[in-house]
Amino acid sequence: MIGRRLSFMWRDILWWWLKIFVGLPLRFLLHTQSEGKIFNPPRGQPAFLVGNHTNTLDPFIISSFIKRPICFVVTDDDFRYKITRILLGWLKVIPTAKNIPDYVTMRTLIKAVKQGQIVAVSPEGGRNWDGEVPPLDETIPRLVKKLRLPVICVKQRGTYLTWPRWTNLPRRGKIILQFNYLFENPAEIPDDVAEIARMINEKLRYSELEDPEITKHVFGHRKVAEHLELRFWLCPHCRNFFVLESKGRHLYCSNCGARWELSGNGTFVLKRFGEPAVPEARNFKRYIDWAHYNDAVTMPMLLDRKRKGKNPLVSLAARMWSSSIQTRSDRRFKVPQEGTASLTPDFRMVFTRTSDNKVLIDIPLREMKGANVVWNQKFEFFLPQAAYRLAFYGQSAYFWHFLTKKLGEMTPRIDGRQGV
């Protein structure tokens, strides 16, 4: 009992230190303000804090407005290094594996709630790529119903453009944290889980790049377009994969010569039209429109290549790490292998080592478990007792994660074959 009280005392000291010396300066530097009633449950009263997650600095920004320490649920990658593992342990941060049902995380979360803590989760489960908030799954609404907890909803506006996931550098513009409070009286909590989810989603639904109050600000930086090819893998002029390159404020196509200038508020200016351009060539003035187009045409284009007999559908130079694992949190990756990652017509990933042309990976994308993107540039997935990571020398790792999600959404045909 004394040990537990001491651990929480150290947590409170460290939390207040970070709040004063990190959170408050960030509020000033990033031009942050709040809207709505900020409800601070009394000490000992548990609550869920649910907010969109777009920015590495989100925990510091949110904590600067809340008077009590918060137990954030974060991906376990941050626990792989001794120093961060110790610091996050002191802060009572709850680790979870990306895109994998994690019962240890759930037990830890419920334990924190029973200890009277505020537990923070995000609908995305990780930073999102385009500033759009996805619908909340039923896990948190079910816990709200079961544990009869109030919910603090935080809609973060401007945090995506402050630090988009695909870039390494933050920018200054405007951040608004919009607070809403649900279920202050536990008797008001609906019995229908879907209704709880609807009420929370209503408070969090948001697309930052379509918010005129935010996009009127500049969010400028001299390298504002840097690493944009981690999100866009398709040139809309020549419709080739993995030909885009960024430099400074510009995005180029190495195949057709197209060039765009990006502004920090997510708008493009076309500087040079690609030649030769295909008849279906498109041009976009807004980042969000290009992102939607990029995603919408990817699978049809790959299926068209399949019909035309192209094999592989795409291929990329890659570096691959592997690790034997007993649990999803004990990854220790070996020396990387150099090679080529290819997508076959039956939607398998094949990794061939350069030195001896040996195939080290040959697996259907559908069978990959826990597929996700780590550190923005590495595609990670799991097999029984094994974890793999691949990096693509500056090209998009999210492309592979996107395909695993799209294939997972497709339902089998009546004849038993999949829709690809």
Residue 402: other Cβ atoms inside 10 A: 20
What does the pLDDT read at residue 37?
A: 79
Mean pLDDT rounded to a whole number for the chain: 88
What does the pLDDT read at residue 420?
A: 57
CATH 2.130.10.10 fits 314-409, yes or no: no
Query: Are 244 and 395 in contact, with CB atoms under 8 Å apart?
Result: no
What does the pLDDT read at residue 414?
A: 32
What does the pLDDT read at residue 65?
A: 92
pLDDT digits (tens, 9 = 90+) for 281-314: 999 999 999 999 999 999 999 999 999 999 999 9
pLDDT, greater one: 410 or 19: 19
What does the pLDDT read at residue 327?
A: 55
93: pLDDT strictly greater than 60:
yes
pLDDT digits (tens, 9 = 90+) for 4-18: 666 777 788 888 888
Domain range annotation of the chain: 2-215, 228-307, 314-409
Equal fold, 2-215 vs 314-409: no
Region 170-184: mean pLDDT is: 92
Query: Are 397 and 385 in contact, with CB atoms under 8 Å apart?
Result: no
CATH 3.30.1140 fits 2-215, yes or no: no
pLDDT digits (tens, 9 = 90+) for 63-79: 999 988 999 888 776 66
List all residues 6 or more positions away from 34 whose beta carbon is below 8 Å from its beta carbon.
Answer: 65, 176, 177, 178, 179
362: pLDDT strictly greater than 60:
yes
pLDDT digits (tens, 9 = 90+) for 364-400: 999 998 899 988 899 999 888 888 999 999 999 999 9
195: pLDDT strictly greater than 70:
yes
Helix (H) or strand (E) holding 94: strand 94-96
Share above pLDDT 90 across residues of the chain, in percent, rounded to a whole number: 58
Burial of 90 (0-12, 13-18, 19+ CB in 10 A): middle
pLDDT digits (tens, 9 = 90+) for 318-338: 999 998 875 555 567 778 999
**Beta-sheet pairing, 369-374 with 378-383:** antiparallel
Read off the pLDDT band of 418 (50, 70, 90).
very low
List all residues 6 or more positions away from 33 whose beta carbon is below 8 Å from its beta carbon.
Answer: 175, 176, 177
CA atoms in the 13 A half-sphere facing the CB of 362: 9
pLDDT digits (tens, 9 = 90+) for 110-132: 888 888 999 998 877 778 899 99
Read off the pLDDT band of 252 (50, 70, 90).
very high
82: pLDDT strictly greater than 80:
no
What does the pLDDT read at residue 1?
A: 63
pLDDT digits (tens, 9 = 90+) for 153-168: 999 999 999 999 999 9
Task: Report the distance separating Cα 121 and Cα 410, nearest Å.
Answer: 28
What does the pLDDT read at residue 78?
A: 66
Kindly report the pTM of this predicted structure. 0.90
